[in-house]
Amino acid sequence: MNRIVNAMGDACPIPVVKTKNAIKELGEEGGSVETLVDNEIAVQNLTKMANQKGYPVQSEKLEQNKYRVVMTIGTETTVEKEEENKVACVPDRRTGNTVVVISSSCMGEGDDALGTVLMKGFIYAISQQDELPATILFYNGGAKLTCEDAPTLEDLKSLEAQGVEILTCGTCLNHYGLTDKLKVGTVTNMYVIAEKMTQASLIVKP
């Protein structure tokens, strides 16, 4: 079946609404719908719909301010489109995306003086691994480790030089009054922190 839709003089989205109604009237058998419009933007909006729906579409300029858009509606093409979408939905499995999370300036609980020494040792040990993490996140007390006078600065700078992303929570820097003291890496926010953690292949938290 073939239907003709006259949408000359109609503003968007009316040409699309009329064309959708004509497609509905075609029923399950399918067929083609030819829509006449008076401007190029309407042609683009119709083409966009056809592409999204997986309908083959062609358009031509008939004369000044008169365009024809022809869509072919069949059941097979729609199915193919759905399968394509399914393939695109497979999650992106990255490998080697290790994220180290440092939430305190101390490592472990018990004695903070010991914890500080252990944390320095841990950062050094990370920098000596064969496989470096993609990102190291610093928040709450951890934010102090990327700032001026931190014992961990030198190792963190060497990690950064080797391509490791060093991110420190901005709200935390502000809280501890360290806004101007950040010496390595960049400032980040909770959305980035959450994103890095959810997308990590492995999270290491001392």
Partner 1 sequence: MADEIVFCRGGGCTAKLGAGVLSRVLSCLPKGARDDNLLVGYDSRDDAAVYQVSEDLAIVQTLDFFPPMLDDPYLFGQIAAANALSDVYAMGGEVKTALNIVCFPEKMDLNILGEIMRGGSEKVKEAGAVLVGGHSIADDSVKYGLSVMGTIHPDKVYANNRGQAGDVLILTKKLGVGIVCTANRVGEASKEAMEEAIRSMTTLNKYAAEICTKYDVHACTDVTGFGFLGHLHEMLDGRLSARIRARQIPVLQEALQHAEEFLLTAAGQRNRNHTEPFVRFRHISFAMEEVLFDPQTSGGLLIAVEPVQAEALEMELQKAGLPARIVGELTNRTDPEILVV
Q: Which residues bind partner 1 (CB under 8 A)?
A: 11-14, 16-17, 20, 39, 41-42, 44-45, 48-49, 52, 88, 170-171, 173-174, 179, 186-192, 195
Shortest distance (Å) from residue 4 CB to partner 1: 19
Cβ 165 vs Cβ 194: under 8 Å: no
User: At closest approach, how far in Å is the CB of 142 from partner 1?
Assistant: 15
| Cβ-based nearer residue to partner 1, 58 or 189 | 189
Shortest spacing between CB 140 and partner 1, in angstroms: 13
Q: Give the residue from 96, 91, 15 showing the smallest Cα distance to 50.
A: 15
Nearest to 22 by CA among 39, 8, 2: 2
Residue with tokens 């858009």: 69
- Which C-beta is closer to partner 1: that of 65 or that of 129? 65
Spatial CB neighbours of 68, under 8 Å, sequence gap ≥ 6? 34, 35, 36, 59, 60, 62
- The DSSP letter of residue 98 is E
Q: CB nearer to partner 1: give 48 or 61.
A: 48
The residues that are catalytic are 12
